[in-house]
Amino acid sequence: MIVSQIKLTLLCLLIIVLCTESTLSRFKRQDLFFPDLRGRGTFGQPCNTYREGAGKCLPLKQCQSLRSFRQSTSCSYYNSVPLVCCPIKKSSQSDASSTNRPVTQSTTRVFRQTASDCGLSETGVGFRIINGQAAGLHAWPWMAAIYDLQFGVVSFRCGGILVNDKYILTAAHCVSDTLGLIPANKFNIRLGELNLNSDSDGARPITFGYNMAIRQPILHDIALMELSQSITRSKAISPICLPTKKHESESFEKTKPTVIGWGKTENRFKIKVLFRTYSDVLRQVPLPVTELEKCKAVYYNVPIGATHLCAGYPQGGKDSCQGDSGGPLMSSDLRDGAHRWMVIGIVSMGLKCAEPGYPGVYTRVTSYIDWINENGIK
C-alpha cells in the first residue's frame, strides 16, 4: 500500500512538473507570465469585437466604449497588461499612434549627471547570463537588486540601474501590475550586492527604501524609482553614465554591449526552478546587437520600433533571462579622455531565453533621455 501511494505521489508530481514547464518557458523576464509572442494579435492590430464588429487591440483603459473586461473580446497581453478588442472610432487611430511615442510630462524637476563621476568600474571597459560569467566584486557598482516585500515574504524581483545619487532606472513592468503602480512600501532596493545569498562574498550591500516610482504609459517599459535617501558614493556604489544626444541616432549594430543580472542561468527545465529561478551571483555576458528590422520580423505580433534595441546570438545559447528584467545593457563611451560605461538598454522581454533566432528585447534608453531629464532630480 505504501509503495502504491509513493508511486501515485510521484506520478502526480511528474504531471505538475510537465505542465509547469510549458508555463515557465513563457515567463516575462522578471517572472510575470508572458504569452507566446508568435500567438494572437497584439497592440494596434485589427480584431473582431464581441459583437462581431471591427476593432483594434488596445489596453482596456484606452477604450472608452468598453466599461469592463467582461464586455470585451481579449486580444493578447503586453507588459502584463490585457489588450481588448476596442470598437473602432475616429479617436482610436490617434490613441494608438500617440501610445507608440514616448510621453513627457511638464515638470520643473531637472535631472543632472556629471560625466566625470559616472560609469567607472574596477573591471574597466573592454572586459571580455545564460552561459555568462560570474561578475567580480565591485565590477558593476550601479547594479541594483529590487526586492518584493509583498505577501509577507522578501524575494528578489528585478534588477535596476543607479543613474545618479537618488534614482534607479528599471523596467516599468517591475514596479507595476495590471492595476497600476505597486505601492512603494512593497519594495526595497539593495545596492553594492554581489551574491544574493551570501554574507561572505566581500560585498557590503546597503538596503534603501524608495519614495515613489515614475513610469511611462503602458507600452513604454521604463520607470524611475526615487530612493528614500541619497547614496554615498564608493567603489561599491556609484552611477552608470547615461547616453548623450550624440547617441540618439546610433543603431549600436555590429557592437557587443554587455548585459548583467541575477536572472535564470539555464534554459533547460529543472524541478528546482519551481522553487527558485535565479542565480546567486551577479553574472555578465556580451551580446551582439541585432538589426532592428530583423527583430521586428521575428516578433511580428509585438509593436517593436525605434524605442527598442534587440540583442542576442542567432544560434541562441546566451541571453538575458527571467529575473534579469530592469537590468542594464551597457556599452563603452569615451568621455573626458577616459572610457566609461553607459546604459543603452533595459532588459524588457523575449521569447523564452536564448532561443535560436529570437533575440532579447530591450528598452532603448536614448529614446527616453528627455523624459529622464524631466523626471529625475539630482
Candidate list 165, 221, 324, 333, residue with the active-site label: 221
Helix locations, 184-328, DSSP H: 292-298
The C-alpha atoms of residue 291 and residue 294 are separated, in whole angstroms, by: 5
What is the model's pLDDT at position 320? 62
Known catalytic residue at 221: yes
- By three-state DSSP, how is residue 227 classified? strand
Known catalytic residue at 319: no
- CA-to-CA dists, residue 34 to 177, 203, 249, angstroms: 13, 33, 30
Known catalytic residue at 325: yes
- CA-to-CA dists, residue 375 to 2, 118, 251, angstroms: 63, 19, 25
The C-alpha atoms of residue 154 and residue 55 are separated, in whole angstroms, by: 42
- CA-to-CA dists, residue 161 to 88, 104, 219, 271, 339, angstroms: 40, 20, 20, 31, 19
* Amino acid, res. 220: H
What is the model's pLDDT at position 76? 63
Domains of the chain: 40-89 (no CATH), 133-376 (2.40.10.10)
What is the model's pLDDT at position 279? 66
Q: How far apart are the first and last CA of the chain?
A: 69
Candidate list 31, 72, 148, 173, residue with the active-site label: 173
Cα radius of gyration rounded to whole Å, the chain: 21
The C-alpha atoms of residue 76 and residue 80 are separated, in whole angstroms, by: 9
Global pTM reads: 0.71
Q: How do the pLDDT tens digits run along the chain, 378 residues long?
A: 554 554 455 555 444 444 443 333 333 454 433 333 333 456 667 777 656 577 877 766 667 665 444 445 666 655 556 677 777 754 433 333 334 445 444 333 444 555 458 998 876 544 444 455 677 778 899 999 999 887 777 888 899 999 999 999 999 989 987 677 888 888 899 999 888 777 766 678 889 988 888 887 667 899 999 999 999 999 999 999 999 988 999 999 989 999 998 866 554 443 343 444 566 778 888 999 999 999 999 998 888 999 999 999 887 656 566 557 899 999 988 887 788 999 999 999 887 676 778 899 999 999 999 899 888 754
What is the model's pLDDT at position 51? 61
Do strands 46-48 and 167-170 pair parallel, antiparallel, or not at all (unpaired)?
unpaired
Candidate list 72, 279, 320, 325, residue with the active-site label: 325
The C-alpha atoms of residue 239 and residue 142 are separated, in whole angstroms, by: 5
Q: Which residues contact 101 (CB under 8 A, 6 or more apart)?
A: none
